[in-house]
Structure 1
Amino acid sequence: MTKRHLSADRAYRDSVQPRTGEVRFQVAVEQTDLLVVAEADMRHEMAAFVALARGEIKTWIMFHPEFAASLTPVHVPDTAPDIIRAMAGAAALCGVGPMAAVAGAVAQAVAERFVARSPNLIVENGGDIHLCSTRERVVALLAEPDSGARLGIRLEAGAFPVSICSSSGTIGHSLSLGSGDLVAVRAKDARLADAAATALGNLLRGPGDIQRVLDRAAQLAQCGLGGVFAQCDSKIVAWGDLELVALD
């Protein structure tokens, strides 16, 4: 699941099939639209929690509009809400604005709040995913329209929690200053993965920029970035802790 080939109705979600003992449901609160796979349907409790998280973010922005507008890191005080400080911290590490981490921040906040009730819990927020699992998972990356090839990232049973977040300069509604087809980032922390995907996506403006992306990824590895997948035109590269698998 990524922003690659993301349509307005999020039709890519149709391919997500829960395993035995799991259910799939949607949580929609204003502009936040989550797909959740869990061991129980918790949509109402999650919706209430998302509303609270959104309220904290919206209230902060009301009094600090630069938090939403800035494309560069913004300092926030230690008294700011946890989700605000987490977004700002991840953005500072990656050199982007704090809203670059908002989707990952919400996904991780929901997962952390409810994982005690469902050890197998996947929260997808517009192509950014935070996963908690007791078993191996495969996250689909993209479908090549010309060849029909489909790739995924295999996540071993002992890897969780883990996040896969993506950025695209050609697909989806999220702001990207690059023009590459896809950058997907693996990290333990969804806020970092989300901000890093944006930062690396901004660098990818052509196939010749792949090495710049890899060099920056190596720097961010010191902050917790685990792996990167990047595609621009016909050039594809994977770096770090990524096991790519072909999907049927």
Structure 2
Amino acid sequence: MAGRHLSTDRAYRDAVRPGSGEVRFQVAMEQTDLLIVAEQDLRDEIAAFVAGVRGEIKNWIMFHPDFAESLVPVDVPEDAPEVVRAMAHAGRACGVGPMAAVAGAVAQAVGEAFVGQSPNILVENGGDTFLCSTRERVVALLADPGSGASIGLRIEAGAFPVSVCASSSTIGHSLSLGTGDLVAVRARDARFADAAATALCNELRSEADMDRVLRRAKELAAQGLDGVFAQYDQKVAAWGDLELVALD
């Protein structure tokens, strides 16, 4: 949906600062655009891996077009590829279509596949991030690309893996049925966090919906939601395991 400041600009990535002994690099392939921070440059290996994951999803869609088109949960058989089953499961848990989990699914697949080579690996895929880390991290929460991020989510060492996934009606190209500036979800599973952020942002159509979003987030806690941050214009709300910090 068109928004008040719809943008696919990745300028927010300029603020990503690798830690000591880390490098940052980009892997882009068709609609997938990853920013990765890792202990070594793995772009060639990750590009080949992403091609395989994307191939599994695209092949499934070729024979099951409803998987890509549905805005409600769909069933998939047990012999479907693991990434397809994970996306379908996340969509069903949150009451949305499986493609609501695709960015988180790719980010998590990459992180899990390469954490053995790089115990510190952070994978951001269009605002959806899967993090494995041996140290504390801060994830910026961006509600307005024009002014940049002023709030971050601190994640303590020892809590990883952690996923922070966001949905917005005003930033990026993903479909949102709401009109909120931002809903960001913290969970361990990026597929679930991505789908949950979409579901909650769909509910956010005015400032008056903030309480409803938080109530729904609390219901999703049983499925694995650890925390939620929501913003509509100048009003913000948060619930759960979130340590919010001011960014420089």
Q: TM-score, normalization: structure 1?
A: 0.95
Q: CA deviation at 1:9?
A: 3.8
Q: Which residue does the alignment assign to 2:230?
A: 230
Query: What SS does structure 1 have at the residue aligned with 2:158?
Result: helix
Distance 2:133 2:230 in 1: 25
Comparing 27-36 and 198-207, the one that deviates more:
27-36
- Which segments of 5 or more consecutive residues in structure 1 lack a partner in the other structure? none
The Cα RMSD (Å) is 1.7
Cα distance, 1:169 vs structure 2: 1.1
Corresponding residue for residue 180 of structure 1: 180
- Taking only the aligned residue pairs, the percentage that are identical comes to 74
Partner of 1:142: 142
**Structure 2: distance between partners of 1:155 and 1:71:** 32
What TM-score, normalized to structure 2? 0.95
User: Which amino acid in the other structure matches residue 246 of structure 1?
Assistant: A
Superposition pairs of residues 1-248 of structure 1, within 5 angstroms:
7-142=7-142, 150-248=150-248
Segments ≥4 residues shifted beyond 2 Å:
4-9, 142-149
Task: Map Cα deviations across residues 60-106 of structure 1 (whole Å, 9 max, x no partner).
Answer: 00000000000000000000000000000000000000000000000
- 1:225–1:143 CA distance, 2 compared to 1 (3 A): closer
Residue type of the alignment partner of 2:200? L
Q: Which amino acid aligns with 1:231?
A: Q
For this pair of structures, how many residues does the alignment match? 245
Q: Does structure 1 retain, via aligned residues, the 8 Å contact 2:181–2:233?
A: yes
Asked if 1 retains the 8 angstrom alpha-carbon contact of 2:143 and 2:182, the reply is no
For the Cα contact (< 8 Å) 1:35–1:125, is it kept in 2? yes
1:135-184 per-residue CA deviation (whole Å, 9 max, x = no partner) reads 00000112668988700000000110000000001121000000001000
Give, in whole Å, the separation in 2 of the partners of 1:130 and 1:38: 12
Deviates more, 1:180-189 or 1:142-151: 142-151
- Please give the alpha-carbon distance, in whole angstroms, between the structure 1 residues aligned to 2:52 and 2:160: 26
Structure 2: gaps spanning 5 or more residues: none
Deviation at 1:7, TM superposition (A): 4.1
Deviations 1:186-215 (A, max 9, x none): 000000000000000000000000011011
Identify if the C-alpha distance between structure 1 residues 94 and 145 changes in structure 2 by more than 3 Å, giving closer, same or farther.
closer
Paired with 2:109 and 2:149, the residues of 1 have a C-alpha distance of: 33
